[in-house]
Amino acid sequence: MKIKTNLFIASGLLSAVLLTSVPVKAQLKKANDPVYQNLDPSVKPGDNFFMYANGGWIKKNPIPNAYSSWGIGNVVGEDLRERLRKINEDAEKANAPKGSNTQKIGDFYYSGMDTLTIEKLGINAIKTPLNRIDQIKSKQDVLDVAAYLTTIGARTFIGSGVGQDAKNSVKMVLQFRQSGLGLPNRDYYYKTDARTTRIRNDYAQQHIPTMLKLSGLNDATAANAVFTIEKALADSSRNLVALRDPYKNYHKMPVAKLNRLTPNINWVNLLPKLGLNAVDSVIVGQPEYYVELDKALTQFSVADWKAYLRWKLVSSYASYLSKDFEQENFRFTGTVLSGRKEQLPRWKRVLDTENGLMGELLGQLFVKEYFPAASKKRYVDMVEAIRAAYREHIEKLDWMSPETKQKALAKLNAIHPKVGYPDQWKDFFALQVSRTSYAENVLNGRHWQYEENIHKLGKPVNHAEWNMTPQTYNANYSPSNNEITLPAAQFMIPGVKDADVDDAVAYGYVAASTIGHEITHGFDDQGRQYDAKGNLKAWWTPVDSAKFTQRAQMLVDQFNGYKVLDSLHVNGKATLGENIADLGGIVLGLDAFKKTAQYKEGKTINGLTPVQRFFLGYALGWLGHTRDEALANQILTDVHSPGYLRVNAPFSDVDEFYTAFGIKKGDPMWIDPDKRVKIW
């Protein structure tokens, strides 16, 4: 997956990159040149290319108080949020028929902006699930209520969902994963460095007690029990690296075996409480977590578990309750964890929530107004240009056998691209939205999402379904579907008209940074373990697999050497898949660009050669900077390397980069030729 920002943004595509050939404009004004205007000429390309390419912009654009990072995605998002705001405000005033998309959008937005009602309701906005918790009297009640809370999107100790069977991708099966933590992952409960210790102490000693007190439970013992339960569950939870091994996170078993694994949990009785009936087998990602959960159910009292479930409910809904809940939630999650100094304006927060719950419904209205169907073809053409480049790369590999090459080519040819927006939209008929309560609308939306997911159990895989919305500034690869999803918004460059974006920049910004990146995910350390039909299956010869692993280890070692903050280094193993995809995307995008007229003509624009502009176009995709708090959180929880290293690190492995910018031995970005990583 390619993540540039935590914000959703939508695509108006009035400033989108044209992916068909664009005439080179030698007289393009420097102020309108999307790469020239961001340069910092005081930095040498060989010292820190990211800052050379983007430093001029970074100096002029400090991170606003409401954000933990600020970059290209945010800039585009500010403009596009305004367009979404107009759609919502128009829908709010439309007096649309009940049950229509317009009514649901307008009423949701109204309820989120109706702070008088939100303050009046306070904790009573979630009174129904709170009453369920208060009525718990036994351990069986604990399990039953946890199941109910799971169905309304509270983050309980049950991590269930329906998805494709990794070893039989045509089957939709019930899966269980580790869950139940309130901090971002297990490392936050056990690392002893000063930064993590400070966050953990705040969470346990201030955040949990404050939120429970606001909810009506002023009990230090209860707050301590919540943290103790979470720490016990964290002890059996896998870390970021361990979660990336698809074989070790695949344990298919009959429900009866799961019952034996957890003797205090009768799953035959509990599954119907989750809305799941006639389930005969499950896939358990991390069995040791459920073994520990089973033990914890006997170790902790009913009162302790009631406090835990109250905490899970309140923390999951705090952003949609009265100001006291919302502010404490932001103090910890926004400021302590991410370094933000103030919240976004309310209308933006409501839009973000709406997009997360009913984004495809919003997307239907959005693309109708702002994204013409004809634009799709441009992006499909570039996908095929990258696919053609990848075929050539595979055929020329000197380390892969003909047998594995044949299967790799078959998988490449089978990759299905989803571009722009869905051909089939989701049906939101069953979603209930009114102006009565914002929290209730969120609850209904989460329950609708849950029901939509579990109803896939046992049904054929819907390959027309999208897992992202058109207005998302992101893209991804699905190994089980062997497909890439490229939302319309991902192709935008802020403030630049289509005609002013030359192919060099487009191929760096789009073909390399997004399309080539996502296709390469099909052949990274995880994706390569799935065959052309999306099944987890060994299709490499053992020798080829060993050669790939040797080359990938070079990339692990390279990234392990990058120190980001204090004593924090990049985790080369955890970020390996993304780092392979970045490197693959760059070399594929460059080779595809070499077939364009602009590359062959070789004319400069504002003193920059076509190849220089390609590399600058790629760097533009990672334009931005991040607060230290958010950067530290990313290192511990994210499989993506920091943005600046997604430019500097892979460029140091690409020979053409050295030639294009005259990088010499002794420059900080220099890597000796025999140590440069070459995989695909």
Asked whether the predicted pLDDT for residue 21 surpasses 60, the reply is no
Gap between the Cα atoms of 491 and 507, Å rounded: 11
Reported as a pLDDT band with limits 50, 70 and 90, residue 3 is: low
pLDDT digits (tens, 9 = 90+) for 96-128: 999 999 999 999 999 999 999 999 999 999 999
What pLDDT does residue 494 have? 86
Gap between the Cα atoms of 469 and 448, Å rounded: 17
What pLDDT does residue 496 have? 82
Q: How many helices (H) and strands (E) does the chain have?
A: 28, 12
What pLDDT does residue 498 have? 60
Q: What is the 3-state secondary structure of 288-308?
A: HHHHHHHHHHHHCCHHHHHHH
Single out the residue of 236, 232, 213 nearest to residue 223, CA to CA. Answer: 213
pLDDT digits (tens, 9 = 90+) for 269-314: 999 999 999 899 999 999 999 999 999 999 999 999 999 999 999 9
What pLDDT does residue 26 have? 47
Helix (H) or strand (E) holding 402: helix 402-414
What pLDDT does residue 437 have? 98
The packing angle between helices 402-414 and 375-396, to 10°, is: 180
What pLDDT does residue 18 have? 34
| Neighbouring residues of 496: CB distance < 8 A, sequence distance ≥ 6 | 15, 32, 34
What pLDDT does residue 83 have? 84
Gap between the Cα atoms of 463 and 507, Å rounded: 28
Tell me how many degrees the CA angle 242-245-249 measures, rounded to the nearest 5: 85
Asked whether the predicted pLDDT for residue 434 surpasses 70, the reply is yes
Burial of 184 (0-12, 13-18, 19+ CB in 10 A): middle
Asked whether the predicted pLDDT for residue 28 surpasses 80, the reply is no
Q: What is the mean pLDDT of residues 172-200?
A: 97
CB atoms within 10 A of CB 365: 17
Gap between the Cα atoms of 530 and 523, Å rounded: 9
Lowest-pLDDT choice from 373-387, 450-464, 545-559, 600-614: 373-387
pLDDT digits (tens, 9 = 90+) for 314-344: 999 999 999 999 999 999 999 999 999 999 9
Domain ranges of the chain: 31-62+374-420+473-675, 128-346
CB atoms within 10 A of CB 601: 10
> Considering just the CA atoms, what is the radius of gyration of the chain in Å?
25
Q: What is the DSSP letter of 530?
A: B
Reported as a pLDDT band with limits 50, 70 and 90, residue 499 is: low
What pLDDT does residue 22 have? 47
Q: What is the 3-state secondary structure of 444-502?
A: HHHHHHHHHHHCCCCCCCCCCCCCCCCCCCEEEEECCCCEEEEEHHHHECCCCCHHHCC
Reported as a pLDDT band with limits 50, 70 and 90, residue 7 is: very low
What pLDDT does residue 342 have? 96
Reported as a pLDDT band with limits 50, 70 and 90, residue 386 is: very high
What is the per-residue burial (b if ≥16 Cβ within 10 Å, else e) of 536-564? beebbeeebeebbeeebeebbebbeebeb
What pLDDT does residue 501 have? 84
pTM for the structure as a whole: 0.92
Asked whether the predicted pLDDT for residue 376 surpasses 90, the reply is no
Evaluate whether 31-62+374-420+473-675 and 128-346 have a shared fold: no
Helix (H) or strand (E) holding 386: helix 375-396
Gap between the Cα atoms of 442 and 600, Å rounded: 54
Beta carbons of 174 and 282 less than 8 angstroms apart = yes
What pLDDT does residue 302 have? 98
pLDDT digits (tens, 9 = 90+) for 467-492: 999 988 899 999 999 999 999 888 88
What pLDDT does residue 27 have? 54
Higher-confidence residue: 362 or 136?
A: 136
What's the mean pLDDT when you consider all of the chain? 93
Reported as a pLDDT band with limits 50, 70 and 90, residue 555 is: very high
DSSP secondary structure string, 123-177? Answer: GGGGHHHHHHHHT--SHHHHHHHHHHHHHTT---S-EEEEEEETTEEEEEEEEEE
Beta carbons of 631 and 642 less than 8 angstroms apart = yes
Beta carbons of 53 and 647 less than 8 angstroms apart = yes
**Backbone CA torsion sign across 114, 116, 122, 126:** negative
User: Residue 545 CA to chain centroid, in angstroms?
Assistant: 28
The DSSP bridge partners found for residue 160 are 176
Class of the CATH domain delimited by 128-346: mainly alpha
Helix (H) or strand (E) holding 102: helix 101-113
Identify the CATH number of the domain defined by range 31-62+374-420+473-675: 3.40.390.10
What pLDDT does residue 645 have? 98
Percent of the chain having pLDDT more than 90? 87
Burial of 50 (0-12, 13-18, 19+ CB in 10 A): buried
Gap between the Cα atoms of 234 and 178, Å rounded: 9
Asked whether the predicted pLDDT for residue 1 surpasses 70, the reply is no
Gap between the Cα atoms of 414 and 665, Å rounded: 42
What pLDDT does residue 379 have? 81
Q: Which two tokens stand for residue 572?
A: 């080369």
Q: How many CA atoms lie within 13 A of 383 on its CB side?
A: 22
